[in-house]
Amino acid sequence: IVPVLLSIIRSCRYARHAIPSPDNENGYTPDRQQIPDHSKDFLGRKIGVKAAGWMNLIVIPSRIRVHSLAFFEKTGYSHRHAVTAVATVVLATDGVEIMPPQKFRRTKSTEAQDGEFMQAVKPLDLRPNFGQRLSDKRGLRRLLMTALPFIPRHAYHPFLAEMRIALSRLQGRIMGVRRRYRGRHDLMVNVGCGFSGRPGWVNIDLFRYAGVNCVYDCRKSLPFDDSSVKWIFTEHFFEHVDYCEEVPSFLSECHRVLQPGGVLRMIVPDAEKYLRAYCRSGWDELAAVQPLDANHFDAGFGNKYNTKMELLNVVFRQYFEHKFAYDFETLEFLLRRYGFAQVRRSQFGESLLPELCIDLRERACHSLYVEAVR
């Protein structure tokens, strides 16, 4: 479709009026002598266009005959996008054929066909598919998620998420989050805490979940003074940070705000565990890392996996939310690169500082535990 449309648009610059003729049942005959040699379609053949405001007629000589209405009906574009065709394209087997313009309109019958089409497509067993994400949305949220249907949802939904984060950043500036922590010292910071906020800690998250007392986007900055934080804890947050654009800023900020001798405890999904289990035959090793039942159903994500590679993609990508997968070697490289003198592998419930052992037990089987000292 795209090459045809581009050739049509290009040919408009060299458009020539077709000559009305009573001999032609459509009322038009192309004047071939008036078509310039440099007016070509995408296959290199000459193309002529009669333009009157919007294009009325399109003439494309070709060996292949395709009626545009039948094409749009077959592919479903007229149904999904309420396409209005301002011209009908005909590729004729012998010479040039001109068809009058037709319009495609969305009707109740096409909407019914839409529903039948969607029901006929069997979705995959992986969550979150679009229907599952939409099922619990109401009002404005539902409207936003279904807007702009011509944009692929796998591209549109990350955009919506970033817009929501941008509003959160604006709210943080208005409320003066940085001013609140100016001059404060010996802070205990829990980055990306979600629903696991702790009393006495600065519990940071992008959204105001229960227990969150600091709504802030900390991917590129932290709202604290230099050397004002005793320790930083982050569990299953770092994989949501873009490796090239945001990781350097985040780790540099952690190093800046930590006191000398301060500890950063970082917990992420352990890619090495998953990959080793994937390489073993059968599902037993993988089920030990990511708990599954006998039918390969994952209660944590709500997925039924048909292949082991499906499981890996769900864990490493998590729809669009996960940006990078880590092993100890990669984390050690990053932490040393951005200023941390000591980097060590840790375990669930074991730390240089007992106060930092606030790990969630349900994540122990598939997590990598790393501590770094400034």
Above 50 in pLDDT, residue 341?
Answer: yes
Instruction: Count Cβ atoms below 10 Å from residue 277 Cβ, excluding itself.
Output: 21
Above 70 in pLDDT, residue 57?
Answer: no
The confidence score (pLDDT) of residue 29 equals 42
Give me the phi and psi of 263, to 5 degrees please. -120, 135
**CA–CA separation, 180 vs 182, rounded Å?**
6
Above 90 in pLDDT, residue 332?
Answer: yes
CA distances to 96, 303, 359, 369 from 363, rounded to whole Å, are 68, 17, 8, 11
> Per mean pLDDT, which range of 55-69, 103-117, 161-175, 343-357 is the poorest?
55-69
Closest CA to 367 of 73, 173, 343, 359: 359
Highest mean pLDDT of the ranges 49-58, 79-88, 167-176, 230-239 = 230-239
Q: What is the residue-averaged pLDDT of the chain?
A: 76
* Cβ atoms 209, 219 nearer than 8 A: no
CA distances to 46, 89, 92, 99 from 67, rounded to whole Å, are 19, 6, 9, 9
Above 60 in pLDDT, residue 194?
Answer: yes
The torsion angle over the Cα atoms of residues 221, 225, 227 and 231, rounded to 10 degrees, is -60
30-51: b (≥16 Cβ within 10 Å) or e:
beeeebeeebbbeeeebbbbbb
Highest mean pLDDT of the ranges 33-42, 66-75, 290-299 = 290-299
Above 80 in pLDDT, residue 229?
Answer: yes
Closest CA to 372 of 262, 250, 224, 225: 262
Above 80 in pLDDT, residue 220?
Answer: yes
Mean pLDDT of 138-162: 83
**CA–CA separation, 110 vs 88, rounded Å?**
20
Q: Which residues in the chain belong to E strands, given as ranges?
A: 19-20, 28-29, 48-52, 54-61, 91-92, 187-191, 202-205, 214-215, 229-235, 258-269, 297-298, 303-304, 342-346, 367-373
Give me the phi and psi of 342, to 5 degrees please. -120, 135
> Per mean pLDDT, which range of 35-44, 54-63, 199-208 is the poorest?
54-63
**CA–CA separation, 192 vs 212, rounded Å?**
9
Above 80 in pLDDT, residue 137?
Answer: no
At 328, the pLDDT band (50, 70, 90 cuts) reads very high
282, containing H or E segment? none
Instruction: Count Cβ atoms below 10 Å from residue 358 Cβ, excluding itself.
Output: 16
**The model's pTM:** 0.67
